[in-house]
Amino acid sequence: MSLLTPNPGLIFWMLVVFLMVVFILAKYAWKPIIKGLKDRENEIQGALDLAERTKAEMLQLKSDNEKLVAEANAIRDKILRDAKDASDRMVIEAKDKAAAEGQKMIDGARETIRNEQHAAIAKMRKEVATLSLEIAEKVLSRELKDKESQEQLIADLASSARMN
């Protein structure tokens, strides 16, 4: 018998066994397998539907979160603007107060300088008057012999007064 030519008896029995296997599979195995495949298909479709709903919910949540973030940013910006405005007002008020106090100090210093200047002028006048009296006293107390000695005395007193 050759391998390339089939035997008709073998073909018959192979066909009979094949049909019995197909019948047994159709009776007992294919219905549960098909039912399992349909159940699995339904589960997969349900999971896909759930994934679609979840995706839609996630998009909604994302847009809600973006709105909340935008609102929070707007509130933050407003708070920062208000704080900057308040700090600017405080700086301006502090500058104005410092300028006013500085002007008070300058005015007080000017007044003190004027008072000391008047006191110094009064003291100099008093000293000039005292010095003039001393010179006059010395001139009068000395013997006035001649005009030349008087001029000499006045010149000496004047030169000694300039050095002090």
Question: Which pLDDT tens digit goes with each residue over 82-96?
Answer: 999 999 999 999 999
How do residues 39-81 score in pLDDT, each as one tens digit? 999 999 999 999 999 999 999 999 999 999 999 999 999 999 9
Structure tokens at 32: 């549960």
More confident position, 11 or 39: 39
pTM score, whole prediction:
0.41
Rounded Cα distance, 139 and 66, in Å = 106
Predicted confidence band of residue 8 (pLDDT cuts 50, 70, 90): confident
More confident position, 94 or 155: 94
How do residues 98-128 score in pLDDT, each as one tens digit? 999 999 999 999 999 999 999 999 898 888 8
Rounded Cα distance, 30 and 48, in Å = 26
Structure tokens at 40: 């699995």
